[in-house]
Structure 1
């Protein structure tokens, strides 16, 4: 546990030395939420949403966007660049095990992303009158499972990518379909049954629906929580299985 703690602190410090990764992981999602919220049509009350604006639906989607950017373009590139620069090769001579190193990355990313999520919820509440989640505990469970699933996928990409650039390229290829099924361009409610079913079994589709359910006061559906847990276990297992020091 002491090794995990020390590694987590060190990895957090190293992450903040990469200004572009920090911007897209922490600054870009809140900025995008503000831009969307400033569009008048996004704030107009909708009878179908119980008087809330469309912006209330996009808060979970932008949260998912932040997770995706952090996992696929931030964490994966940073970790893969360690291998490219020989950092992991030098760490191989220490008692640190791969699972501890991966666990430190996962813990660091989850804690930092959770802080950003709180900021975005507060922006939505006080800037655009978006209500806080009615089922707060369910919202927390859904968010943490979505974060674990996405960061596990990011670490798997980093484990198989030979360099930081290749990890970024793979992450970009994965990013767009995941965000499509999260509802960024076409809201899940507007998808046909086939697309919605596919979305239900993607990490961000299940994550966004879980957050929207919790925000509305309902417990997320078990199938969505199971999908998120499955992605976290499978991707995390693959990341550990294919981890390479060099």
Structure 2
């Protein structure tokens, strides 16, 4: 635990030495929410949304985006870079095994994602009167499952990519369809039946709907929880099968 804590602190310090990464992963989601909230029509209740406003729908989408930024851009590129440079190979000869580095990366990404979530919720509440989650335990479960599903996909990218640059590029390319089906460009409520059904079986489509359900005070549906668990098991299993330490 001591080694895990020290490595997590070190990785966090290294992360904050990259201003572009910090701005992209931590600052962009809350800024995007402010941009959406500045659109007058997004702050007006809509009858076809059950009295909700578009900004209310985008709050959980932006929270999911915060998870995805770390899972698809930072995590796979960093881990693939460590493998490419021989860091993980050298760690295998020390008492601190490479699995501790894996734990440190996952812990750092989780903590940073939680920080982003809290900032987004605070900005939404204070600036645009977006309601806070009514079902806090359900919200935390939905957030955790969404994060684990995305982190496992990020590790799968790292396991298959031959270099850090290719891992970063692959993660960036995957980010766009994942966020599309999460509702970033077209909220799930505005999707047709085909797109919404596809979204239901994507990790963040299920995640965003689960966060929305928890915000309304309901537990996520069994379907969406099963989808996220399925992604965790399948992507995590494939990542473990194909990951190379050197």
Counterpart in the other structure of 1:15? 15
C-alpha displacement of 1:121:
0.2
Could you report, residue by residue, the CA deviation over 1:24-56 in whole angstroms, capped at 9, with x for unpaired residues? 110111111111111111111223445442100
Counterpart in the other structure of 1:176? 176
**Contact 2:91–2:98 (Cα < 8 Å) also in 1:** no
Q: Following superposition of structure 1 onto structure 2, how do residues 1-246 of structure 1 map, counting pairs within 5 Å?
A: 1-246=1-246
Q: Hey, what's the Cα distance between the residues in 2 that align with 1:189 and 1:90?
A: 50
**RMSD between superposed Cα atoms in Å:** 1.7
Q: Hey, what's the Cα distance between the residues in 2 that align with 1:223 and 1:169?
A: 31
Q: Hey, what's the Cα distance between the residues in 2 that align with 1:100 and 1:222?
A: 33
**Contact 2:91–2:97 (Cα < 8 Å) also in 1:** no
C-alpha displacement of 1:205:
0.3
Q: Hey, what's the Cα distance between the residues in 2 that align with 1:166 and 1:87?
A: 18
Aligned residues: 246
C-alpha displacement of 1:214:
0.8
**Contact 2:203–2:227 (Cα < 8 Å) also in 1:** yes
TM-score between both structures, scaled by the size of structure 2: 0.93
C-alpha spacing 1:11/1:236, structure 2 compared with 1 (3 Å): farther
Moved over 6 A (4+): none
C-alpha displacement of 1:98:
4.1
Q: Hey, what's the Cα distance between the residues in 2 that align with 1:195 and 1:81?
A: 35
Determine helix, strand or coil for the equivalent of 1:131: coil
**Contact 2:33–2:59 (Cα < 8 Å) also in 1:** yes
Q: Hey, what's the Cα distance between the residues in 1 that align with 2:139 and 2:153?
A: 21
Determine helix, strand or coil for the equivalent of 1:45: coil
TM-score between both structures, scaled by the size of structure 1: 0.93
**Unpaired runs of 5+ in structure 2?**
none
Q: Hey, what's the Cα distance between the residues in 2 that align with 1:6 and 1:91?
A: 15
**Contact 2:88–2:98 (Cα < 8 Å) also in 1:** no
**Contact 1:52–1:130 (Cα < 8 Å) also in 2:** no
Q: Hey, what's the Cα distance between the residues in 2 that align with 1:174 and 1:100?
A: 27
Determine helix, strand or coil for the equivalent of 1:167: helix
Q: Hey, what's the Cα distance between the residues in 2 that align with 1:223 and 1:185?
A: 23
Determine helix, strand or coil for the equivalent of 1:75: helix
Deviates more, 1:174-183 or 1:43-52: 43-52
**Contact 2:55–2:130 (Cα < 8 Å) also in 1:** yes
**Unpaired runs of 5+ in structure 1?**
none
C-alpha displacement of 1:146:
0.4
